[in-house]
Chain A
Amino acid sequence: MLKVRKVAAALAALAAAATTLAGCGSDGGSDPNVLRLWHYEGPDSAMGVAWNEAIKEFERTHPGVKVKFEEKGFEQIQKTAPMVLNSKDAPDLMEYNKGNATAGLLSKQGLLTDLTAEVTKRGWDKLIPAGVQVTAKYDAKGVMGGDKWFGVPNYAEYVQVYYNKDLFAEHDVKVPTTFDELVAAMDAFVAKGVTPLTNAGSEYMAQQFVYQLALSKADRAWVDAYQRYTGKVDFKDPAWTYGVTTFADWVKKGYIAKTSVGAKAEDAGVAFMQGKYPMMFSGSWWFGRVAAEADFEWDTFVWPGSKMTLGSGGNLWVVPQGSKNKQLAYDFIDITMKKQIQNALGNAGGIPVAADSSAITNPKAKKLIDDFNRLADGDGLAYYPDWPVAGFYDTWVSEVQKLMNGSATPDRVLGNLQKAYDEGLPK
């Protein structure tokens, strides 16, 4: 009892302290010599490394100005950004997720600064490839591909095949360069009792197979209609039908394990890095981790037999409307677009948008970047299947799971996708 009373007294003292402390809490941050910067990339990731260097460079070129950097969680920014940006505590510059439902929505609500004038003045539009620009520009309805810049992407991303060279050698399978060779290679693995592709049915990986297969029969107009609402979308068209039926067929043939229906992307990636599967079809966001953690020889190739693949510009630098130091924020973005920082991003395993390819010393990173540049130059970035309408991601996951389980026919799945798409279209 005595102990409890003592502790209660201590807590009461704390409570008293709290009120005084909380009173002088955080300042609004209107100091003209402090740049308040938020992002949510880990310190060891390519972006984290490059941006850290950018902070140093900024403080060197802006004597007397300090960068007050706060690392945030992705989840926190996603959940609270509209509220934070609508208050006087908004940071001067922050990283934000690209897309209609995120940056597009905030731009429509007037919470982001229109950067168009700054972009042309500083020549960022010349540095960033056209395909990457799409996710940085929004129209009055907040739909991407518009005419006004609301963000600046520093990096890009795309989906490719990671393969385990050791497993290919062990089972005497040739590394494919065409789509037919890919199918032949998968047949060879299945014949040896190895499942060729790692997969995660309960997350993004499975739907990305379907979309990629559909893309191999599609063109730019088809992608624009689907992603930017420039035309009518018919899920029963040949491309979608091919994508869905081929995927179902691959599960039946054992190219993709039926048991992966409930797996998470993390499980699928770890299984690949453990050497259990010879191939993983996933994004460049795995690159750094595979490089650091895989114990075997590996390399990558772009999905064969398709002009387009999944990919886009990365997350954006956005300047909140309530930013008190906009000029400093523009200066900071400018530094992150400089060759020195862009090359650092590339050497750390990211895909810079404006790097000097010859300055990239790591051969695997160079291949990653060169492959991306080839895609971007060929107008081959097709974004991601869940982007067009809100809540589409969950529809995709559950429909593809049905396809894997065999509990719905391809025709039925396409019908359900059509329904969710039509209902979700912005009015």
Chain B
Amino acid sequence: MATPQAGARRYGPGRYAVLTAYLVLAVMMLVPFAIVLLNAIKTPREYSTNGPLALPEGVYLDGLIDFWQRVDYGEKLLNSVLISGSVAVLAVVLSVLNAYALGIGRVKGRMWILVLFLMANTLPQEALVYPLYYLAKQVGLYDTRLSVIIVFTCIQTAFGTYLLSSVLSGFPREILEAARIDGANRLQVLLRVVVPVSRPTLSVLLVFFFIWTWNEFLIPLVFLVSNETQTVSVALGVLQGQRLMDATMTSASALLGVLPTIAFFVIFQRTLTRGITVGAIK
């Protein structure tokens, strides 16, 4: 093969192939959203006469408004923010405390403790639902938001502990020793040294926990029985009929359902791209 010139290499067919591949991928990712958007603003009659792919004849917002009122969407949003927010904060706090002991404190048998956490992570939620339901009923927390917060705090903490422990076990010992020599006790080391240094990792965890909890469906479905405690993802299920589906209203609800997650993602996009393993010495 002839040695290609620098210019030819920059604009060679390979680059265009990659660009095209990315474009195709981007379109494939966006098409479902486009279809949802398209059908969310159609009238049911238009949908039935022209099919799901036709362009809407005009903007029809009644589907969105009807759905909002039908499920009292504002209340559901508040519940979701409350549950996801509490879980994110509590799970990060617990994860840090656990990981501090396991990653830096070098507890005896920590390997096995971590394996246990990992195993807890791989358990499917379907297997957990019935025992959790039974426990919640016994302590009188069935059908309360608190029960879901507790359950998800534990589930997310299991993952957070596992991840943070590995990150913190690589924490530079010199910094810790320097702090000790300066007279800091264990709590001060944690709060003044470990937490500030690993804050980027913690923020990423916080964001992840929030979004993961937001998208959870099965456990909230089982635990949040009353409509006034339900989350957004459970409320979306109301539209699923026995035999018929209301395609336009389902699209409208899907649109309302993803908007908060997209908004949240846009706000925290910088935090996320900072990467999960950042957090070394300054």
Contacts and interface: CB of A to CB of B under 8 A. Distances in A.
Interface of A: 1, 4, 7-8, 10-12, 14-15, 17-19, 21-23, 25-26, 40, 42-43, 70-76, 79-80, 83-84, 86-89, 97, 204, 265-266, 269-270, 273-274, 283, 285-286, 289, 292-295, 315
A87 B223 CA distance: 11
Given A14-B86, A73-B239, A270-B51, A26 B203 contact: no
Contact of B90 (A15, A17, A266): A15
Interface string B141-158: 011111101000000000
User: Which applies to chain B's interface (DSSP): helix, strand, loop or mixed?
Assistant: helix
Given A1-B199, A14-B89, A289-B244, 4 more contacts: A22-B145, A73-B239, A269-B244, A270-B48
A88 B145 CA distance: 16
18 contacts: A4-B206, A8-B203, A8-B206, A18-B83, A19-B86, A22-B149, A25-B146, A25-B229, A26-B229, A70-B227, A72-B227, A72-B238, A75-B240, A79-B222, A89-B143, A266-B245, A266-B247, A315-B242
B149 A285 contact: no
A75 B237 contact: yes
A46 B210 CA distance: 40
A22 B144 contact: yes
A126 B63 CA distance: 42
A273 B145 contact: no
Contacts of B5: none
7 closest Cβ contacts across the A-B interface? A22-B146, A25-B144, A15-B86, A293-B48, A73-B237, A22-B145, A11-B85
Contact of A74 (B44, B199, B240): B240
Nearest to B93: A12
A204 B243 CA distance: 9
A270 B271 contact: no
Contacts of A289: 48, 244
A18 B82 contact: yes
Contacts of A84: 225
Nearest to A204: B243
Nearest to A12: B89
A274 B47 CA distance: 9
Contact of A21 (B52, B82, B225, B238): B82
A71 B234 CA distance: 12
A18 B86 contact: yes
A42 to B, nearest CB: 7
A26 B144 contact: yes
A74 B203 contact: no
B89 A11 contact: yes
A269 to B, nearest CB: 8
Nearest to A9: B89
B244 A292 contact: no
B241 interface: yes
B144 A83 contact: no
Contact of A15 (B48, B50, B85, B268): B85
Contact of A73 (B82, B225, B238): B238
A148 B120 CA distance: 46
Contacts of A22: 144-147, 149
B228 interface: yes
A8 B89 contact: yes
A86 B137 CA distance: 10
Contacts of A265: 243
Contacts of A43: 70
Contacts of B241: 40, 42, 74
A97 B70 CA distance: 22
Contacts of B52: 270
A294 B50 CA distance: 11
A204 B244 CA distance: 12
Contacts of B133: 83
Contacts of A295: 45, 49
A274 B54 CA distance: 12
Given A18-B83, A73-B237, A76-B237, A274 B49 contact: yes
Interface in B106-136: 133
Contacts of B177: none
Contacts of B229: 25-26
A4 B90 CA distance: 16
A285 B221 contact: no
Contact of B225 (A10, A75, A80): A80
A71 B70 contact: yes
B81 interface: yes
B47 A270 contact: yes
B240 to A, nearest CB: 5
Contact of B146 (A1, A23, A283): A23
Contacts of B226: 26, 70, 89
A210 to B, nearest CB: 18
A350 to B, nearest CB: 13
B88 interface: yes
A338 to B, nearest CB: 25
